[in-house]
A and B are shown apart, each in its own frame.
Chain A
Amino acid sequence: MTWINDIVQGITLGGFYGLLACGLALMFGLMRIINLAHGDIAVLGAYLVFLLLEHWHVSPFIGILPVLPVMLLLGYLLQRTMLERSLRSGLLVPLLTTFGLSIVIQNLLEQGFSPDVRSLGENAGSIATSSWQITSKLSISTIGALTLGVAIVIFGSLQWFLSRTQPGRQMRATAQDPDTAELVGIDSRAVYGWATAIAVAIAAVAGMFLAIRSTFFPYAGPDNLIFAFEAVVIGGLGSSLWGALLGGIVLGVAQTIGGQINPEYSILAGHLVFLLVLASPRGGLLTLGAGGIARVRSARGVSA
């Protein structure tokens, strides 16, 4: 029975990793940008919610709402002012740009908020600590279930947006061929701007969940980036959006089961699964061509 409990805990943890990986997968799938500042952007989101809660005594779930438009704007500006120029110089330059951005964000957060370790768990009230006892050995934490639920809703909405709406179609078209997208009337730079805006806003949601379920500090970004990155790779590296959530769940389950064997093995077990996927023939997905996210449409086109 304990292992069922472990798997359930792993799945809810995986929801968090999936949420963290979502924006990373979106930016990689659409623009081939590996955003090394993604973890720091999530932590920045957590700090913005924290800042708001210092003044207004509301739940972090309310506090995130005004943070989202700010993050959308920041994401759009990040793309239009920095990443757009970097992309023109090849695929390696955005990697360096976001690496630098990561360091800048960490240092600014330390300047602004001190290096103290914080948590928003208390602000969230009973949601952060309560759980449903299903049997004597199986319980589901409220925050875990909520994280997974929010992750599924966000992935589902994004999928619907990309496959069913005109801006979503534009994003997929631009991901496949930005030059031709321009020729049919799409402002590819603006489309990329909105894609990054969405990725950054989702990162902030992940940051909020990080802050509620555990702790954060100015340098917490890279640790979280590793999990997000592993989730994206396990899920097939941008070959589909849901892959990132699935990859997160695989990673989460591996970590909880590893932790059950020996608490020291928790993180290690996750890394091992990641390495196994990389080494397997399926790891060859790494080299698949551009525009992975563009293939989100279901198989009905092929079978017709």
Chain B
Amino acid sequence: MSLLSVEGLELRHGLLEAVRGVDIAIAEGETVALVGANGAGKTTLLRAIAGAHRPSRGRIVFDGRDITRLRAHDCVRMGISLVPEGRRLFGDLTVEENLLVGAQRRRGGHWTLETVLEAFPMLARLRERRAKTLSGGEQQATAIGRALIANPRLLLLDEVSLGLAPLAVDAVYESLATVIAQGATVLLVEQDLTRAVGVAERVVCMLEGRFVLEGRRGELTREQITSAYFGLSRGAAA
């Protein structure tokens, strides 16, 4: 049985239909990348799974339980954590405080303040620093740590490389590899195709609120993904 299954999900921003009926199932331990152009509905879909966006139609089932109507803080308790786009740290709180706030709904598991600081060594010496004084890469590491410390069964990552220097992106993905190796189930949104294909076992391509291409790593060529990404071959949907 899949850990997460989304059925016929429709999401709106007022009159705008951001996601128009998508289905996806993610098995425990799987890493799935969601790619697509700006405005394809990726962030909205992630926020809906995390409970921060109320669907207008469809169902979200997590671990056999319907969570469509749960609020975000309840989803965290169920084991879903989202690292939001733009990191969204609590800027006036210190790094340690940001992590501790994330530990509020902590489920039992591997991740504690200590293990998070081990996985992100750069954070250890920044514990007492206010989050807003950190560099982009350090902030991203804090944001991922803040989500991990709740010991999620499903980790949602939204554009973790956005606005970071290439070296910082490397560092963030290195840490992510550790997290994935721990057996986490991950759904990530990534603009950088090479990164996305590099880390994920399965790639789903979104265009204008729909899934237009889906396949395992190795099954899809870069050209196929690119053309789906830009909507060049609408008939090519898998």
Binding site for B on A (CB under 8 A): 166, 169-170, 172-173, 176-177, 179-188, 291, 294-295, 297, 300-302, 304
Are A302 and B133 closer than 8 Å at their CB atoms?
Answer: yes
Complex partner residue of A301 from B52, B100, B104, B128, CB under 8 angstroms: B128
Are B76 and A173 closer than 8 Å at their CB atoms?
Answer: no
Are B71 and A180 closer than 8 Å at their CB atoms?
Answer: no
- Chain B residues near A170 (CB, 8 Å)? 101, 104
- Chain B residues near A172 (CB, 8 Å)? 90, 92-93, 97
Which secondary structure dominates chain A's binding surface? helix
Are B150 and A184 closer than 8 Å at their CB atoms?
Answer: yes
- Chain B residues near A295 (CB, 8 Å)? 92
Enumerate the 3 nearest inter-chain pairs by beta-carbon distance, A residue then B residue, closest first: A185-B105, A185-B76, A182-B72
- Within the assembled complex, what's the spacing in Å between the Cα atoms of A291 and B130? 15
Are B104 and A184 closer than 8 Å at their CB atoms?
Answer: yes
Are B100 and A169 closer than 8 Å at their CB atoms?
Answer: yes
- Chain B residues near A187 (CB, 8 Å)? 71, 73
Are A183 and B82 closer than 8 Å at their CB atoms?
Answer: yes
Complex partner residue of B101 from A169, A300, A301, A302, CB under 8 angstroms: A169
- Chain A residues near B209 (CB, 8 Å)? none
- Within the assembled complex, what's the spacing in Å between the Cα atoms of A186 and B81? 12
Asked if A294 meets B73 with Cβ closer than 8 Å, knowing A185-B104, A186-B104, the reply is no
Contact sample, A vs B, 19 pairs, CB 8 Å cutoff: A166-B100, A166-B104, A170-B104, A172-B93, A176-B91, A176-B92, A177-B88, A180-B84, A183-B72, A183-B88, A184-B76, A184-B101, A185-B102, A186-B101, A188-B73, A294-B92, A295-B92, A301-B129, A302-B130
- Within the assembled complex, what's the spacing in Å between the Cα atoms of A186 and B130? 20
- Within the assembled complex, what's the spacing in Å between the Cα atoms of A181 and B100? 12
Asked if A182 meets B73 with Cβ closer than 8 Å, knowing A169-B101, A177-B88, the reply is yes
Interchain nearest-CB distance for B11 vs A (Å): 16
- Chain A residues near B76 (CB, 8 Å)? 183-185
Interchain nearest-CB distance for B120 vs A (Å): 16
- Chain B residues near A180 (CB, 8 Å)? 84, 88, 90
- Within the assembled complex, what's the spacing in Å between the Cα atoms of A297 and B97? 11
Is B213 interfacial (CB 8 A cutoff)?
A: no
Complex partner residue of B93 from A176, A179, A185, CB under 8 angstroms: A176
Greatest chain B CB density within 10 A among A180, A294, A300 is at A180
- Within the assembled complex, what's the spacing in Å between the Cα atoms of A297 and B98? 13
Number of residues in B with C-beta < 8 Å to the partner? 31
Given A177-B88, A185-B102, A185-B104, output 18 extra A-B contacts at Cβ < 8 Å: A169-B93, A169-B97, A169-B100, A172-B90, A173-B93, A176-B90, A176-B92, A179-B52, A179-B88, A180-B84, A181-B90, A183-B76, A184-B105, A184-B150, A185-B105, A185-B150, A301-B128, A302-B130
Interface set, chain B 79-121, CB cutoff 8 A to A = 81-82, 84, 88, 90-94, 97-98, 100-102, 104-105
- Chain B residues near A302 (CB, 8 Å)? 130, 133
Complex partner residue of A297 from B93, B101, B104, B146, CB under 8 angstroms: B93
- Chain B residues near A181 (CB, 8 Å)? 90, 101
Interchain nearest-CB distance for B232 vs A (Å): 35
Are B90 and A294 closer than 8 Å at their CB atoms?
Answer: yes
Is B77 interfacial (CB 8 A cutoff)?
A: yes
- Within the assembled complex, what's the spacing in Å between the Cα atoms of A169 and B97? 7
Is B26 interfacial (CB 8 A cutoff)?
A: no
Are A184 and B146 closer than 8 Å at their CB atoms?
Answer: yes
- Within the assembled complex, what's the spacing in Å between the Cα atoms of A304 and B129? 6
Nearest residue in A to B106 (C-beta to C-beta)?
A185
Is B60 interfacial (CB 8 A cutoff)?
A: no
Greatest chain A CB density within 10 A among B71, B81, B97, B147 is at B97
- Chain A residues near B82 (CB, 8 Å)? 183
- Within the assembled complex, what's the spacing in Å between the Cα atoms of A183 and B72? 5
Is B50 interfacial (CB 8 A cutoff)?
A: yes
Are A184 and B102 closer than 8 Å at their CB atoms?
Answer: yes
- Within the assembled complex, what's the spacing in Å between the Cα atoms of A291 and B93? 11
Greatest chain A CB density within 10 A among B104, B130, B133 is at B104
Interface set, chain B 123-150, CB cutoff 8 A to A = 128-130, 133, 146-147, 150
- Within the assembled complex, what's the spacing in Å between the Cα atoms of A302 and B98? 15
Are B150 and A177 closer than 8 Å at their CB atoms?
Answer: no
Interchain nearest-CB distance for B49 vs A (Å): 11
- Chain A residues near B101 (CB, 8 Å)? 169-170, 173, 181, 184, 186
- Within the assembled complex, what's the spacing in Å between the Cα atoms of A177 and B90? 7
Nearest residue in A to B101 (C-beta to C-beta)?
A173
